[in-house]
Chains A and B, each alone.
Chain A
Amino acid sequence: MNGFLAVMRKEFRHVLRDPYALAATTLGIVLVMILMVYAISADIEHIPIAVLDGDHSLQSRAYLQRFVNDTFFDVAYWASSHAEALEWVRSDRVKGAVVVPAGFAAALQQGSPAPVQIVADGTEPNIALQIVGNAEALSAGFSVERLEQRLARVGVVRGEGTSPLEFRGRTLYNPDVRELNAFLPVVIAFVMAFPPFYAGLSLVREREQGSLEGLLSTPIRRHQLLAGKSVPYLLIGLLDILLLTGVGVFLFRVPFQGHLADLILFSSLFLLANLGMGLLIASLLRTQMATLIVGGLVLMLPLTQSGALTPLYAMSPDARMQAMMWPTTHYIIIARAIFLKGVGAQALISHGGALLISGLLLNGLAVWRFRMKQ
C-alpha cells in the first residue's frame, strides 16, 4: 500500500510539472467540447436551391413563393432554362432544384395532377432527404390550400377534427427534441476516452527512459505500480467529467435529471475500461511512439462505430456486436439516461456491468502482460 501511495505521489508530481499538458487535459478538453457542441447544434436551414418558373402564371408564382418564404430553403437562383437549373445542381452551387414546367396552371385548372420536378443532390443523404421531404410538404400544403379554397366555394369548411384518426405525440425526456441535449453525452464520451490513455503513455515513457527498471527493483508489486501510476489520470478524468457536465448544464442548458453520484460512479467504470485499453496497448508496445500512434488510432474508431451516428437497433447484427465491444457505446447510453431520463443506477446495471467487466479484463490482461515482460 505504501508503494502504491508513493508511486501515486510521484505521478502527481509529473502531472503538475507539465502545466501545458495539465491545461490541455482540463481547459483544452472544455474548449474542444464547446466547439463540437456549437458545430452539432446548428440547425439545418437556408439550403440553397435553384428554381425554374417555366409557366410564368399566377399559380406557379404562388407555388414558388412558398419556397422563397420557407426558412429551410434559400432560393439562390432563378434559372431561365431547365438545363441551366440542373447545371447549378451538378456544379454544386446549389443542393437542389425545383422545376415548374409550362402548363402548370392549366393542369391545375383541369383538375389533373400538375407535375413539378424536384431534384436533390444525394451526395449528402441527410440533406437530400430533408430537401425532398420539405419540398413535398410545401407542395402538399399548396394543394391543401387550393383544395380548401375550392371546398369553401361549395360551402364545405374544413376545420378541426376532420381527421378521424389523430396521433397525439408526447416526447419524453427531451420534449423539444433538442439535438444538443442528445449529443452532449456523446461529446463527453468522445473526449473522455482520452485522459486514461495518457497513463499508458506515461508508463512507456518510464520504460523508455530506463526509470522503470529502478522502480521494479524496489519491493513494490506490479499491480500497485500500475495502479499508482494510473490514479492521477483517473482523477483528472473525473475532474473533466465534472467540468464538461458543468459547461453542458450551465452554458448549453442541457437538463440534468439524474444523480451526480450515479454519473461519477459510471464515469469511473468508463474511465477504468479505457485505462485498461491504454495500459494494454502500452504493455504490448514498448515505445512512446508506437503507443501514441496505436492509441490515437484506437481512440478514433469509436467516433463512427459507437452508435452515435446511427441508433443501435438500426444497425446490422454484426455492426451492433462490434459497437457493443466499445466501452464508448455503453457509456453513451448510460450518460444519456442519466442526463435526460434521470433513471437510477438499477436501470443501467447491464451497461455498467459491461464496462466493469471490460475494465477488469483489460486491466488484468495489462498487469499480466506487464509482469510477463519483465
Chain B
Amino acid sequence: MVGRIRNMVWKEALQFWRYKLLLIFILLFPALDMVGVAGAVSTQIMHIPTAVYDQDRSPASRRLASMLRASQLFDPDYHVNSQAEVEQLLEQGTVKVGLVIPPRFGADLAGGRGTTVQVLQDGTETLTCLLAGAYLEGASYVYAQQMTETKSAGVELEFVDPRSRVWFNETLRKENFQIPAEMAAAVAWLAVLLPAVAIVRERESGTLEQLFVTPMRPIELILGKGILAAAIAFLGFLEALAVSTLHLRVPLRGSLALLMVLAAFYIFVEMGWGLVISAVVRSQGQAFIASFFWLMLESILGGQILPVENMPHVVQMVARVMPNTHFTVIVRSIMLRGSTLVDVWPRVMVLAALGVVLYTLAAARLRKRLD
C-alpha cells in the first residue's frame, strides 16, 4: 500500500513540475496575499476627505476647521462656495463628508445663542459615517459639558471614570486581526482547489478508470493525490506565516510547533471539501464553479470579516461546516492570545469530526461512481 501511494505521489509531482508557471504562481500567492491584505487594512480610518462651505469666514469658523484637522480624522481640504458644490463633490465621491457653517457662526457662539453646523455624509461609506458621526457628537458633548459646568458652579461633580484596556492586541492593530484570518483563507483556497482538480482531471481524461483496474483502493488514490496537494498547501502556510511574523510583525505568542501541527491537520480536513467536490462534479469546469463558490463563501462567512456568532442561524449552520471558520479562531488564539492546545481543544475536535465526515463521504461517493 505504501509503495502504491508513493508511486502516485511521484506521478503527481512530475505532472506539477511540468507547469513551471503554475508552480511559480502557487508559491508567490501566499506572500502576495498577506502583503496585500496588510496594506489594505493597515491604516486606521483617518483623513476623511472633507469639504467645507464656510459662510461665516470668521476666526471661530476657521478654528472649527483646524480643530477637525487636528483630530486627524478629517482632512478639510476642499473649500467651496455653495451647498450645491458640496453635494456635487459628495456625488462624485471626491469627499465623504461636507460641513456647512452658517453665517454669524462666530457671533452666535460668542453671544451664547447656540448655532448649528450642517454635516452632510456619504451614506455609501457606512464605517466613515459612523466614525464621523461619533466624533462630532463627542465634540458637541464637550461643548455641552463646558456649558453645564459654568452654570453649575459650586455643585460637586460625580462621574464614572472608565479606564479601558484592550487585551491581546493592545494597539488594536488591524493587521494582527486580519492577517491570521487571511492565512487560514489563503490555505483553504490551495487545499480545496488542488485536490479537486487533481482528481477531476483524471476522471475527465478517463485515466481514473485505468487507475482503478490496478489494485489501488479509493482511499489509496485519495491519499496519493492528496499528499502532494497537502504538501504544497502546507508550504504555502509556512510561507504566509513567515511573511506575517517576520515582515508584517504579527506577534506569535503561542507555540510555533502547536500552530504548525494544527495547520497541517486543518489542511487535511479542508482538503476533504476538495475531495467531496471532485466526487460530485463531472468536469473540470464544474469543479471550478463548485470550488469557487464554496471558497468564496468560506472567505466571507468564515469569521474573517464579522464574528460568526452574530450571523443568522442559517448562515451559522453553513459556517460551522467550514473548516476555515474553526481554524480562523484557532490561528488567532494561538498567535494573539498565546493559547495552548487545551484552550483550542473544542475547535480541534470539531475539525476532526468534520474530517471524518468529509473523507467518508468522498470515499463512498468515489467508489459508487465507479461501480
Using a CB–CB distance below 8 Å, which chain A residues touch chain B? Answer: 18, 20-21, 24-25, 28-29, 32, 35-36, 38-40, 42-46, 63, 89-92, 108-111, 113-129, 132-133, 135-136, 139-140, 142-143, 146-147, 150-151, 154, 156, 158, 161-179, 181-182, 190-191, 194, 197-198, 201-202, 205, 284-285, 287-290, 292-297, 299-301, 303-305, 307, 309-311, 313-316, 318-319, 322-323, 333, 336-337, 340-341, 343, 347
Q: How far is the CB of A59 from chain B (nearest CB, A)?
A: 9
Contacts A36-B301, A38-B314, A40-B306; is A299 near B160 (CB within 8 Å)? Answer: no
Among the 9-residue stretches B1-9, B122-130, B238-246, B256-264, the one with 4 or more Cβ atoms under 8 Å from chain A is: B122-130
Q: How far is the CB of B73 from chain A (nearest CB, A)?
A: 10
Contacts A128-B169, A290-B21; is A309 near B312 (CB within 8 Å)? Answer: no
Q: Is A163 a contact partner of B143 (Cβ separation < 8 A)?
A: yes
Q: Is B91 a contact partner of A341 (Cβ separation < 8 A)?
A: yes
Q: Is B159 a contact partner of A35 (Cβ separation < 8 A)?
A: no
Q: Which residues of B contact A194 (CB under 8 A)?
A: 289, 292
Q: Is the interface of B mostly helix, strand, loop or mixed?
A: helix
Q: Is B296 a contact partner of A32 (Cβ separation < 8 A)?
A: yes
Q: Which residue of B lies closest to A337 (CB)?
A: B93
Q: How far is the CB of A193 from chain B (nearest CB, A)?
A: 9
Q: Is B117 a contact partner of A295 (Cβ separation < 8 A)?
A: no
Q: Is the interface of A mostly helix, strand, loop or mixed?
A: helix
B324 at the A interface (CB under 8 A): no
Q: How far is the CB of A102 from chain B (nearest CB, A)?
A: 15
Contacts A118-B163, A123-B168; is A111 near B173 (CB within 8 Å)? Answer: no
Q: How far is the CB of B96 from chain A (nearest CB, A)?
A: 7
Q: Which residue of B lies closest to A161 (CB)?
A: B114
Q: Which residues of B contact A289 (CB under 8 A)?
A: 19, 22, 197-198, 201, 284
Q: Which residue of A lies closest to B144 (CB)?
A: A163
Q: Which 10 A-B pairs have the closest CB atoms?
A: A174-B123, A319-B39, A122-B169, A111-B156, A113-B161, A163-B144, A143-B159, A122-B166, A167-B136, A290-B22
Task: For the complex, give the distance between the alpha carbons of A341 and B87 in Å.
Answer: 11
Instruction: Name, among B115, B137, B285, the residue most crowded by chain A CB atoms within 10 Å (CB to CB).
Output: B285
Q: How far is the CB of A67 from chain B (nearest CB, A)?
A: 12
Task: For the complex, give the distance between the alpha carbons of A164 and B151 in Å.
Answer: 13
Q: Which residue of B lies closest to A351 (CB)?
A: B93
Given contacts A63-B160, A289-B22, A314-B46, 11 further A-B pairs with CB under 8 A are: A125-B174, A139-B162, A150-B158, A166-B114, A168-B119, A172-B122, A198-B289, A293-B197, A297-B193, A303-B299, A304-B37
Q: Is B157 a contact partner of A147 (Cβ separation < 8 A)?
A: yes
Which of A43, A162, A288, A301 is close to B148, meaning CB atoms less than 8 Å apart? A162
Contacts A21-B286, A119-B167; is A154 near B152 (CB within 8 Å)? Answer: yes
Contacts A21-B289, A127-B307, A163-B144; is A38 near B315 (CB within 8 Å)? Answer: yes
Size of interface on B: residues with Cβ below 8 Å to A: 128
Contacts A91-B343, A117-B165, A294-B25; is A168 near B189 (CB within 8 Å)? Answer: no
A sample of 25 cross-chain residue pairs with beta-carbon separation below 8 angstroms, ordered by A number, consists of: A24-B286, A42-B306, A46-B310, A90-B337, A110-B156, A118-B164, A118-B165, A122-B168, A125-B169, A139-B161, A143-B158, A150-B155, A150-B156, A165-B117, A167-B119, A167-B136, A172-B122, A172-B123, A174-B124, A177-B129, A181-B123, A190-B296, A313-B49, A314-B46, A333-B93
